[in-house]
Amino acid sequence: MEIRKNYINGEWQLALGGASRDVINPANGEVIARVADSTAEDTRQAIAAAHAAFYGKGEWRRMAAPRRAELLHRVADGIKARADELARLDCLDNGKPLREARGDVDDAAACFRYYAGLISVPQGGVYEVSDAFGPMHAYSMHEPIGVCGLITPWNYPLLMATWKLAPALAAGNCVVFKPSELTPLSAVVLFEILHAAGLPAGTANLVLGTGPAAGQLLAESHDVDMVTFTGSTRTGQLIASAAVGNLKKVGLELGGKSPNIIFADADLEGAVEWAMIGVFFNQGEVCSAGSRILIEESIKDAFVARLAERANAMTIGNGLDDPDMGAIVSQGQMDKILAHIERAKQQGARLVCGGERYTEGECARGYFVRPTVFDNCRRDMDLVREEVFGPVVAVQTFRTEAEAIAMANDTPYGLAGGVFTSDGARALRVIREIRAGVTWVNCYNPTFNEAPWGGYKMSGYGRDLGVNGLQEYQQVKQVNINLQPGVLGWYQH
Ligand code: NAD
């Protein structure tokens, strides 16, 4: 089997130590590819390439923004041209349904176009300043940060890569990217596309391997100016502490335990459908998953019955067959989810539906979990406090708006939250009180390239997407020009 390689300084190369690892299809446990299994030595080489490209030749950062934009549009064209292949790869190593993978590919192409457009509009500002020092012209310019290390998780392989690569490159940075070791396949194709688009050598580098072996140096190295990470809160903490050596900028998009609040005056059928998207989309492996449903007591029974009916009707299977729900990414992740389910039962939550591995037919060879609803959940249960990252939802009830808000905020996380109500003023009141970075009213989980994405509290800091997403990868330089050289203003006696 051919080994998928690292891409360093414009060249494809095997890991320096010669090691490689299997990539598994979680729908049937089969090996689908072998990829380079890099160590810190490979990452060091990639960082050196990015460093030389940025601080040496500086071709990319000096390139006029409209020309950079042109290359990013070419990347978007390349993604569209290879859309079927990319969607298939994300489906194969992640397990997600094909139509969801297709949606990710469209979003990825649109994200490159969005940042190509954004870098083409005015970036800095001109300031009217005091003339105390004589007449001055003051302006600011947005410059790239330098060498950026980008690390992503496995749940949206192509999309998470794009959310970081597109703005980092648009801003003129040179990057080293390490995707998850579980889902590296679409990243290899994306780098073929970057290569074909004509990015100068060293501008974008790809290192394949595990976090501790291949990723950690991106946080530690003094030759990296920024590290941006999407993944678990625990790894985010490790990255933040490894990054202090040179005080590099850190961006963290971490986990969540997000509340989905449903009031009795909401459209019940709509709330059920959005709640399904909130917690079963992408097998529930979504950082913003509405994994805590907080529901007004008077409608709880009707809501839970309908939710269970809809969950039980979901088709489960190989992502390539486009079921409602695909495979969990790995045996390890499936085992974690099943352990959460067992603990929830032991701690007294009432299992309404699901609650077990799914093993019908061909699925017996893969890692599938039935969509699971737990009722009668209490705040002290692990299911209510810990991120599961799978198709499992905890239902709790409230009686008043104030109680709902208090329950929603009773978590160390702050990534997302939703509110369902037909009372517009109440929706706005509740949203204002939710301590989370992404919120929805009468919908759950829609995400847009144009709007910022990121967390409060232990869900991290920094923002992906939108204008903020570009600014994360820029630093601002202030320029003050004396229009009358020799004049010193008030300082002159
Ligand atoms: P993870 O933290 O285990 O791994 C994420 C990435 O970090 C992988 O590429 C991994 O190889 C790497 N890594 C692991 N240890 C490292 C280390 N010591 N140094 C450097 N890199 C290291 O997370 P995961 O299991 O891949 O993904 C699931 C988590 O990601 C969930 O907690 C989820 O909430 C979170 N997530 C958050 C967002 C968001 O936008 N907030 C989006 C997607 C996923």
285 and 236 inside one domain: no
Copy the structure tokens of residue 381. 């249960």
Give exposure, 24-44, as e/b (b: 16+ Cβ within 10 Å).
Answer: bbbbbeeebbebbbbbbebbb
In ligand 1, the atom with minimum distance to the C-alpha of 153 is 26
Please report which helix (H) or strand (E) contains residue 217, including its range: helix 216-220
CA pair distance 371, 354, nearest whole angstrom:
5
402 and 433 inside one domain: yes
Is 406 part of any domain?
Answer: yes
Tell me how many domains the chain contains: 2
218 and 340 inside one domain: no
For position 492, what pLDDT does the model report?
73
329 and 233 inside one domain: no
Is 30 part of any domain?
Answer: yes
In ligand 1, the atom with minimum distance to the C-alpha of 232 is 32
CA pair distance 492, 481, nearest whole angstrom:
18
Is 97 part of any domain?
Answer: yes
Is 204 part of any domain?
Answer: yes
79 and 135 inside one domain: yes
Question: Which CATH number characterizes residue 308's domain?
Answer: 3.40.309.10
286 and 155 inside one domain: no
370 and 436 inside one domain: yes
Q: How confident is the model at residue 489 (pLDDT cuts 50, 70, 90)?
A: confident
C-alpha 329 – ligand 1 centre gap (Å): 13
464 and 365 inside one domain: no
Is 487 part of any domain?
Answer: no
For 176-233, how does the pLDDT look when each residue is reduced to its tens digit (9 = 90+)? 999 999 999 999 999 999 999 999 999 999 999 999 999 999 999 999 999 999 999 9
Give residue 155's identity as a one-letter amino acid code: N
Query: Which ranges in 314-353 belong to alpha helices (H)?
Result: 331-346
In ligand 1, the atom with minimum distance to the C-alpha of 459 is 41
111 and 179 inside one domain: yes
- The model carries a pTM of 0.97
Is 488 part of any domain?
Answer: no
For position 487, what pLDDT does the model report?
74
Task: Show the ligand 1 pocket: residues with CB < 6 angstroms.
Answer: 151-155, 178, 180-181, 210-212, 215-216, 219, 230-232, 235, 238-239, 253-256, 287, 387, 389, 415, 455
243 and 286 inside one domain: no
For 92-141, how does the pLDDT look when each residue is reduced to its tens digit (9 = 90+)? 999 999 999 999 999 999 999 999 999 999 889 999 999 888 899 999 99
For position 189, what pLDDT does the model report?
98
Q: Which residues are catalytic?
A: 253, 287
Q: How far is CA 474 from CA 172, 315, 346, 468, in A?
A: 9, 45, 49, 10
244 and 267 inside one domain: no
Q: How confident is the model at residue 285 (pLDDT cuts 50, 70, 90)?
A: very high
C-alpha 178 – ligand 1 centre gap (Å): 11
Q: Which domain holds residue 362?
A: 259-441
137 and 185 inside one domain: yes
Close Cβ partners of 313 (under 8 Å, ≥ 6 residues apart): none
Whether the per-residue pLDDT at 485 is higher than 70: the answer is: yes
C-alpha 219 – ligand 1 centre gap (Å): 13
